[in-house]
Structure 1
Amino acid sequence: MDVRVEQLTAGYSGRTVVDRVDMTVPPGQVAAVVGPNGCGKSTLLRAMARLHTPASGRILIGGDDVWGLKQRQAAHRIALLPQSPQAPEAVTVAGLVRYGRHPHQGLFRQWSQEDERAVERAMTATRVTGLAERRLDELSGGQRQRCWLAMALAQQTPALLLDEPTSALDIGHAVEVLELVREIAADGRTIVMVVHDLAAAARYADTLVAMRDGRIVACGPPRETIDTALMRELYGIDTEILAAPSDGSPVIVPVSPTPVRQAATG
């Protein structure tokens, strides 16, 4: 299903943080939301996930406004992986992933074979099946992030929101998680993720959504969107934009405002 944001405005205590944002992400694509700290990225994601009530506007998943649905219905459409998720103490990987099936449980619908199959598929897709009985707190950061993604996948929503899914990961684990994000999208899910790493956004996203002061200032394929003017507008720095030798994706190189002097030798 596609994800559409229409004229979304949201804020806190009378202060506008997200200002009349419009955005469309087709099914099976990845949109990366980038911008300086405080520009409204996480507030946008929280409003899309029904965790922060917008002042106006709509968030549509497959044509249905998520704020017009009941909470359980919305949980069948959209899942959020927050930046710093918290797990119950000593939970195992399998136990964590099963939490993703909570929106599908109810008074007259208890745990079923369908739930078990959804958990197994999610663990297989994220390659954590071999960790099923391990405690989450015993794993590396990259392994834990794959487990959290498995929990979100087990929810079986057509849309998935990721708030800085690679924060605090080293480059190896970050690439592993982003490759997994691409695989999830290729399976048909629509993904909106907030990222700070522009190189990662340029390489792994279909659409780059650049925000500043609560508004979208640029939106489109990374190769067509990232340029020196955008870097100056977003971050106030001069850059050079190079093309990666492997696939031509943009590589952003900051330009030092003053020449770097080499240390004298002798």
Structure 2
Amino acid sequence: MRLVVEQLTAGYPGRPVVHGVDLTVPEGQVVAVVGPNGCGKSTLLRAIARLHQPESGTVRIGDADVWALTPRRAAHRIALLPQSPQAPEAVTVAGLVRYGRHPHQGLFRQWSREDEQAVESALRATGTAELAGRRLDQLSGGQRQRCWLAMVLAQETPIVLLDEPTSALDLGHAVDVLELVREVAAAGRTVVMVLHDLASAARYADTVVALRDGRIVAHGPSREVVDAALVRELYGIEADILSAPGDGSPVVVPAARATTPTAAPAPAA
């Protein structure tokens, strides 16, 4: 399903954070939202996921307005993995992933073989099947992150939102997660993820959306958007943009923080 965000404005009492955002994501695409800390990335994802009431604007998935749906119906269409998810104490990996099936349960819809297959498929896709019987709190950070991703995949929503899915991961685990994101999109789901690494955004996303002060300042094909001017505008630093051997994706090499030239002193009278 296509995700459409129109003129979305959201924030907190006395402090607007996201201003008039327009965004359209076709089915099966990966969008990376980038920008400096505090620019509104997480608030945007929470407003799309029906967890943060916007002040104005609409969010549509297919032909449905997300905010007109019940929470359960919305959870059939959209899933969010936040930055710092919290799990019940001593939960096993299998138990965690089963939580992804909660929106599909009800008074007349109890656990079924379909649910079990969704859990098994999510565990296989994330390489966590061998961890199913282990407690989440006994795993490494990279293993836990893959387990949380499995829970989100088990929810089987057409829209998947990931808030910094590679944070605190080493390079190898980060690549594993981003490759998995591409596989999820190839299977027909739409993925919107917040990333801090511009090079990863350019390599793994179809589209980059750059936010600054809650507004979109750049939006387009990832390998066209990521350049030295964007780095300067977002982070206030100079950078060299190199082409990666093999696929030519942009590699960002920070040089120095951009400074405003000072005026030359006036000549002595």
- State TM-score, norm by structure 1: 0.95
Matches within 5 A, 1:85-96: 85-96=85-96
Letter in 2 for 1:84: S
Matches within 5 A, 1:115-154: 115-154=115-154
Consecutive unaligned residues of structure 2, counting only runs of 5 or more, are 259-269
Q: Tell me what 1:113 maps to.
A: 113
Letter in 2 for 1:72: R
Question: Is 1:221 matched up with 2:221?
Answer: yes
Q: Tell me what 1:211 maps to.
A: 211
* CA apart distance, 1:36: 0.6
Q: Tell me what 1:181 maps to.
A: 181
Residues 10, 43 of structure 1: 8 Å contact kept: yes
Q: Distance in 1 between matches of 2:127 and 2:33?
A: 26
Residues 95 and 257 of structure 1: is their aligned pair in 2 closer, same or farther, counting only changes over 3 Å?
closer
Q: Tell me what 1:101 maps to.
A: 101
Q: Tell me what 2:24 maps to.
A: 24
Runs of 4+ in 1 over 2 A off after TM superposition: none
Q: Distance in 1 between matches of 2:126 and 2:171?
A: 18
Residues 25, 190 of structure 1: 8 Å contact kept: yes
Residues 136 and 59 of structure 1: is their aligned pair in 2 closer, same or farther, counting only changes over 3 Å?
same
Task: State the secondary structure of the residue aligned to 1:107.
Answer: coil
The superposition leaves residues 150-188 of structure 1 with CA deviations (integer Å, 9 ceiling, x where unpaired) of 100111100000000011111111111111111111111
Q: Distance in 1 between matches of 2:75 and 2:180?
A: 22
Residues 125, 150 of structure 2: 8 Å contact kept: yes
Residues 142, 177 of structure 1: 8 Å contact kept: no
Q: Tell me what 1:61 maps to.
A: 61
* CA apart distance, 1:63: 2.3
* CA apart distance, 1:198: 1.1
Task: State the secondary structure of the residue aligned to 1:255.
Answer: strand
Q: Distance in 2 between matches of 1:204 and 1:149?
A: 17
- State TM-score, norm by structure 2: 0.94
Q: Distance in 1 between matches of 2:5 and 2:248?
A: 30
Q: Distance in 2 between matches of 1:84 and 1:257?
A: 30
* CA apart distance, 1:257: 6.0
Task: State the secondary structure of the residue aligned to 1:238.
Answer: strand
Q: Distance in 1 between matches of 2:63 and 2:193?
A: 20
Figure out how many residues of one structure are paired with residues of the other and give that number: 258
Matches within 5 A, 1:195-206: 195-206=195-206
Residues 236, 257 of structure 2: 8 Å contact kept: no
The superposition leaves residues 91-113 of structure 1 with CA deviations (integer Å, 9 ceiling, x where unpaired) of 11111100000001111111111
Q: Distance in 1 between matches of 2:257 and 2:218?
A: 25
Question: Is 1:83 matched up with 2:83?
Answer: yes
Letter in 1 for 2:59: I
Letter in 1 for 2:14: G
Q: Distance in 1 between matches of 2:257 and 2:36?
A: 20
Q: Mean alpha-carbon deviation: is it higher for 225-234 or for 29-38?
A: 225-234
Question: Is 1:49 matched up with 2:49?
Answer: yes
